[in-house]
């Protein structure tokens, strides 16, 4: 007789428990009470405003277990990159003396950022200036190849905005970090290939991102919604936005 209600496989039973644990851990994490500087390069200011206000997302838009596993693997790959760069003779500092992560907090703690690391020294043959910001991202093969071909500023403008913002806001605590080009490392998750790129400080971009952050805070405090990026709800970015339904239900 055919069994129309087969038992879940071993893989399914184990993965369900892993994912449930990861989701529970995520849900137990207190929500951010600040605007993360790493997000300021997002194309839509209204979406950033919803994020900052911790507005409810569309049903099913929260991260599932698989996505959380992808994030976790990315963190582990970043740790490997740190060890590889140090093995190459680069003095990469990732924690302060008290053990905390390097970062900044401005606007009464309402705008914050945490940097991956600071390069204090490097072999002369590499041709770097110090101190330099270090930022690391993991990517699939397609995005990694685009980054190699076009550079991070063109292929991943959100990362470029993050780098510029970090260089600007870290300058008071790490003098000279905005004068030295940042080192951006991209890891190909599919092949373990590495791409390293020196990114000069873009003061204009940093200022635009700072102005954007202030605009988001002021509009949220005033109970006002910032403009949408489009008049068409079928716009590409809107179709993948967790706040699309809420956004288009608003009258403005």
Ordered per-residue pLDDT tens for the chain, 252 residues: 455 567 789 999 999 999 999 999 988 888 888 999 999 999 999 999 999 998 888 766 678 889 899 989 999 999 999 999 999 999 999 988 877 889 999 999 999 999 999 999 999 999 999 999 999 999 999 999 999 999 999 999 999 999 999 999 999 999 999 999 999 999 999 999 999 999 999 999 999 999 999 999 999 999 999 999 998 888 988 988 989 888 888 655
> By C-alpha distance, which of 156, 138, 148 is closest to 43?
156
Is residue 199 within a helix (H) or strand (E), and if so which, with residue range? strand 194-199
| Within-domain flag for 203 | yes
Alpha-carbon span 26 to 19, nearest angstrom: 10
Contact 212, 45 (CB under 8 A): yes
Q: How many CB atoms lie within 10 A of CB 194?
A: 14
Q: Report the sign of the C-alpha dihedral through residues 238, 226, 37, 183, in that order.
A: positive
Predicted TM-score (pTM) of this structure: 0.90
User: Which residues have a Cβ under 8 Å from the Cβ of 247 and sit 6 or more positions away?
Assistant: 46, 47, 50, 228, 238, 241
| Within-domain flag for 11 | no
**Domain CATH for 166:** 3.90.320
Radius of gyration of the chain (CA): 21
Q: Which pair of structure tokens corresponds to residue 168?
A: 């600007």
| Within-domain flag for 28 | no
Specify which residues 197 forms β-bridges with. 184
Contact 199, 149 (CB under 8 A): no
* Token pair 């140090």 in the structure block, residue: 86
Q: Report the sign of the C-alpha dihedral through residues 110, 250, 57, 239, in that order.
A: negative
| Within-domain flag for 51 | yes
Q: Which domain holds residue 121?
A: 44-220+228-249
pLDDT of residue 99: 76
What is the number of structural domains in the chain?
Answer: 1
pLDDT of residue 4: 58
Tell me the three state secondary structure of residue 250: coil
Cα–Cα–Cα angle for 7, 12, 16, rounded to 5 degrees = 115
> By C-alpha distance, which of 155, 160, 153, 200 is closest to 41?
160
Q: Outline where DSSP puts E strands in 33-89.
A: 35-36
| Within-domain flag for 216 | yes
| Within-domain flag for 23 | no
Q: Which pair of structure tokens corresponds to residue 151?
A: 């550079």
| Within-domain flag for 182 | yes
| Within-domain flag for 161 | yes
């Amino acid at each position: 007789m055919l069994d129309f209600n087969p038992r879940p496989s071993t893989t399914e039973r184990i993965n369900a428990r892993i994912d449930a644990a990861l989701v529970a851990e995520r849900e137990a994490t207190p929500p951010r009470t600040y605007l993360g500087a790493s997000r300021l390069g997002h194309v839509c200011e209204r979406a950033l405003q919803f994020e900052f206000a911790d507005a409810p997302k569309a049903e099913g838009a929260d991260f599932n277990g698989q996505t959380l596993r992808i994030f976790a693997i990315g963190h582990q790959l970043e740790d490997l990159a740190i060890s590889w760069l140090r093995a190459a003779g680069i003095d990469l500092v990732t924690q302060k003396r008290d053990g905390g992560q390097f970062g900044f907090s401005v606007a009464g703690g309402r705008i914050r950022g945490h940097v991956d690391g600071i390069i204090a020294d490097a072999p002369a043959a590499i041709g770097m200036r110090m101190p330099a910001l270090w930022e690391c991202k993991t990517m699939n093969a397609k995005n990694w190849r685009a980054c190699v071909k076009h550079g991070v500023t063109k292929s991943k403008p959100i990362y470029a905005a993050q780098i510029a913002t970090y260089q600007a806001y870290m300058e008071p605590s790490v003098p000279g970090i905005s004068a030295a080009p940042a080192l951006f490392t991209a890891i190909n998750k599919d092949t373990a290939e590495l791409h390293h790129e020196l990114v000069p400080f873009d003061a204009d971009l940093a200022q635009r991102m700072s102005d954007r952050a202030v605009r988001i805070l002021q509009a949220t405090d005033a109970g006002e919604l910032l403009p949408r990026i489009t008049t068409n709800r079928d716009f590409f970015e809107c179709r993948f936005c967790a706040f699309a339904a809420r956004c288009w239900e608003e009258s403005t």
